[in-house]
Structure 1
Amino acid sequence: MRIHPEVADALAAGRAVVALESTIISHGLPHPGNLQIARDIEACVRAAGAVPATIAILDGQPQIGLDDDALHRIATGTTAVKVSVREIAMLAAAGGDGATTVAATAHLAAAAGITVFATGGLGGVHRGAQETYDESADLTALSRTPVLVVCSGVKSILDIGATLERLETLSVGVIGYRTERFPAFYLADSGHRLDWWIQNPEQAAAVLRARDRLGTKGYGLVLANPISAEAELDRALHDRVLAEGLAAAEAAGVRGKDVTPYLLGHFHRATHGASVAANVALVLGNARLAAEIAVAYATG
């Protein structure tokens, strides 16, 4: 594992560091704007006083923090495959390039000593999972990885109720940020109520410190930060596009890990880019909040 010197120095000095995933850069956002968005995400973290650590695998070596050349390679190249935890060893042995999912990013961040991680949306239980058993590895990874993931809930294309049940079973705490309602990525309110919520980064840092003291550090935490009102998709448009996308995916025989990129691409086309604008807005908001929490945790 290679830790970028800036990240290594910050960790050694006990300064704030925020982990960032790379799948959103390579697979989640359209080219060519994805490279600039990746830079903007890192800039948000820096503006809030923390060091960004975008995580990826290059030539088989996990990279904790990317320089601009590496960021460019992940964003514009065609060799990076989507990598979860189970693929890390195979890709390392093969010497390939990989963009890390939430699960893989969390695993590598924790191995490097990074506690706070920002992303767009968490993976979860897919619709129809009672028949397909299709469930994101993000959930089980968080059940054994000591990170706080700042996200805008889970993607609305998933079975959100079942996802929350699985998180409870796996002992992954879920906290709302200034909301009592669990968000649904493009939408601020999924319709599911939360038991716990906080109002500021200092309270999130207090939760992390309490976890450290009380022996529950081995489990991950999810901080659900809803998309802002001005960036949220129109609900009627969202519901119509989602129904159309699910029907199209079923008709095309799209299954498993291919469903999410298929539906995100459908949203992009059917909303004429509005879903991408929402995605960018929520990721930037999550990066900013994660950095504020990391600073509060490091200085508290």
Structure 2
Amino acid sequence: MLGIGNNGFNNMIDTHCHLYDASFQEDFYEVIARAKANGVEKILLPNIDQTSWKPLKEAVNNSSIPCYTMLGLHPCYVRENYEQDLSFFRQELVTGHQELTAIGEIGLDLYWDKTYLSEQKTVLRRQLDWALEFKLPVALHVREAFEEIFGVLTDYKTSSLKGVFHCFSGSEAQANYIIKHHPSFFFGIGGVITYSKSGLCDLVQMLPRDRILLETDAPYLAPSPHRGKRNEPAFLIPVAQKLGSALNISFHEVCQLTTANAQQLFNFNV
């Protein structure tokens, strides 16, 4: 553990972390302590489905690091009964929107299965509309579906919609499209940037620096040298270091830059 320290100098924000995942159940408080010792000052928790909603809120309440709640239905969990899921989340949104930081994790995923693409699009549009209604940013999950999600987002180009392409995995052309056509959207950069064959180190150099965010997506996608292990917020350090190397800026500058960007998008009150 590098022990950067929670000194107000090199603090980082993990903008996407499933801290409520069952893999953290046994050592939740140790994970939080390591995150704090390594300069993580805020953690954003994206929701997955109805079953994750209660554990998510419990994690927020139990963490000594400020955690921020997202609400949403992940595309991989969209099935025929999606109206039931949306009804549940709509009620939670109406009654508790003051406690929400974003709508997410929402989007399109065609990596495993294309069976529910139509339903995924319907669910995505509904949740994008919620984001506009309640003036919240969105955290987008896009896997093997950039052209499809660009088609959906075209209808929102003149709106105030803003958000982040979480764990961005697109091409240079897709990044350029976002930069040009969706200027209110950011790029989430996580552990994949440390993978030698990812190509992300080259891609981030073309991104506007005021549109880059740090994330872990823990417990998934642990960065090198932890690849293959459970990811956790403390592992933001190798991500930030690799990002700094790619951009030719210091670790401190990465922390300053990405923290300011997260504040700009999510508008933290605390």
TM-score, normalization by structure 1: 0.39
